[in-house]
Structure 1
């Protein structure tokens, strides 16, 4: 191998925990040289990496070293790869509990309660849309049955697909209308550090169109493990992206016994949200690419036992990432 050109690369790579994983990597360091001896010692400027390795539930992050020597004549070049750990942060455990249940809690919705909360105009629109969907569903189903009369199996398949599509459309419209009882939005968020404490009235602004009893407001955060995997085969082969919540933590949770209509929601939750525990319980964000890596996620949840819930995703670009590394 003497005199051959070689390349040493150090990558931060994803390791998706799936039998059909799609991984990605970003280069941290590359060194090209000509082989003139059997042993090398490279001084790698790790201070500029600003990264760490991570062992997750759905995806991990590894440091991968790859050495490639251009010695091919007929066969492939010689190549060797090794992985290593780089721990720049201590172990984080989150607040415990089921991450999916904390970040996306089950929504108990009473149809009659939500329907009666609609304005007269929205009620008429909802009923009209529902009737149109039903007519198109029945009419389309009969047409498909006639078209595939001699192939009953095929007819049932297309009718089922047609019906599912209309059900999804109707549910989407229903949820959009039912959410109209509460007009709420996030306010511009200041830089969030480990010392940040904010009142709810500085985070959200909004009013309800109806009186609300026992409304719960929560601020939750978690890490999101991101990656991709392949599903299907042949013409149905596709790449699926995922974001799975892990390490959930509840930063704030209070219940207001009574919120009158057309009053500011935030005024009924006077306590402050302390963002400090988030920096101790979660890992810092570590992006390998848009689809792979580790992210920080937080949101405001307005939960009610009868009305449809509202979830407001908080901006992550306002989080001071360096505070995650402070012990």
Structure 2
């Protein structure tokens, strides 16, 4: 049976207040739908390029309307980001209209899916990747511990000991179960995917990862590192401005990030980096060890600002050492605006501040992206 929709086109509109709406025009083949109460949904589907993918679809907007004969037009208020098609290395974003015309015959059980095309903004070729957003972190554990307060030092050492004990006990259980009959195993079965020792090794890796995250967080407490006033609601309320960041915005480093170290910092480098993140999920393992893995892969990474200071005295506010401005035009020129189907799937806009030190664990601060003017990416 032929589809009832002959053609469709879409245009994204922005109001003076900044709200978005999808202006969709479509033409029906038959007039029998005239007067029907229909529902239009604009949906974004993120397809993961993997052998065992987990795809996701998000509804960007929905509206109920009365069908006219022939040509129809419906404006759907949008929730969230500006939608567009995207094809990357790990994900693909597809945009389509889900049209429920109410009437369904014997052979038409589902709403109509109408593919729509919104081309992504044209961008130059870019190759920056994970090494910019997540540079290697070399540090001295002993020196880092000395830079902490007494209580933080004790807690960090305690976490290290607890992690070692838990991993040691779990490994011993894996060894025991590996060389024991099934009825004498303690935790790991011979019937599950993989041998007991291999299963224990996987659990050890998860424990080590979780504990190391907590230890690194504690090791960073040699200083305070937080978002600057320009990127907070307080700044906007005090100045009575919208706080939107456009491609002509020039912003002081000290308005982006603030901080203060309890010890002197030698050869510290402050960087502001940005990228897009391809986000999605896939399945790994099987049987009782099957799990869903989320990924966020940096693409098109760039350095917006970088400066090294020979020495920052203890207690010195960071913004007094880094007084330059950041021009944000390169960010708008190289990166795509956010286009997320859900919290876990889609293309994300990402930027962060990094304070890199040769002896201490590096500081990382994710910066908010809600202030960026989406239309300036196009």
TM-score (norm 2): 0.68
Q: In 2, are the aligned partners of 1:8 and 1:65 still within 8 Å (CA)?
A: no
Q: Which of the numbers 83, 86, 96 marks the counterpart of 2:118?
A: 86
Give the whole-Å Cα distance in 2 for the aligned partners of 1:131 and 1:234: 32
Aligned to 2:225: 184
Q: Does 101-110 or 14-23 show the bigger shift?
A: 14-23
* Distance verdict in 2 for CA 1:98–1:266, change over 3 Å: same
Aligned to 1:150: 180
- Say how many residue pairs are matched: 318
* Distance verdict in 2 for CA 1:229–1:179, change over 3 Å: same
Q: In 1, are the aligned partners of 2:96 and 2:116 still within 8 Å (CA)?
A: yes
Residue correspondence of structure 1 range 1-327 to structure 2 within 5 A:
9=40, 11-18=42-49, 19=51, 20-26=53-59, 27=61, 33=67, 40-43=70-73, 45=75, 51-57=82-88, 58-65=90-97, 70=103, 72-73=105-106, 77=109, 81-87=113-119, 90-93=121-124, 96-135=126-165, 137-138=167-168, 150-151=180-181, 156-157=197-198, 160=201, 163-164=204-205, 166-188=207-229, 189=231, 191=243, 192-232=245-285, 238-325=291-378
Q: In 1, are the aligned partners of 2:48 and 2:55 still within 8 Å (CA)?
A: no
Give the whole-Å Cα distance in 1 for the aligned partners of 2:290 and 2:323: 52
Give the whole-Å Cα distance in 2 for the aligned partners of 1:169 and 1:249: 29
Q: In 1, are the aligned partners of 2:144 and 2:360 still within 8 Å (CA)?
A: yes
Deviations 1:30-67 (A, max 9, x none): 76759x8xxx4444558989844222312233332566
Unaligned runs of 5+ in 2: 2-29, 236-242
Give how far 1:226 is off.
3.0
Give how far 1:79 is off.
7.3
Q: Which has the higher contact order (CA 8 A, sep 6+)?
A: 1
2:87 is paired with a residue of what secondary structure? coil
* Distance verdict in 2 for CA 1:178–1:290, change over 3 Å: closer
1:24 is paired with a residue of what secondary structure? strand
Deviations 1:6-41 (A, max 9, x none): 86856342242424341304256676759x8xxx44
* Distance verdict in 2 for CA 1:163–1:296, change over 3 Å: closer
Q: In 1, are the aligned partners of 2:44 and 2:94 still within 8 Å (CA)?
A: yes
TM-score (norm 1): 0.78
Give how far 1:248 is off.
1.8
Give the whole-Å Cα distance in 2 for the aligned partners of 1:236 and 1:142: 19
- Aligned-residue Cα RMSD (Å) equals 3.7
Unaligned runs of 5+ in 1: none
Q: Does 54-63 or 124-133 show the bigger shift?
A: 124-133
* Distance verdict in 2 for CA 1:236–1:112, change over 3 Å: closer
Give the whole-Å Cα distance in 2 for the aligned partners of 1:4 and 1:232: 51
Give how far 1:300 is off.
0.7
Give how far 1:110 is off.
2.3
Q: In 1, are the aligned partners of 2:56 and 2:341 still within 8 Å (CA)?
A: no
2:263 is paired with a residue of what secondary structure? coil
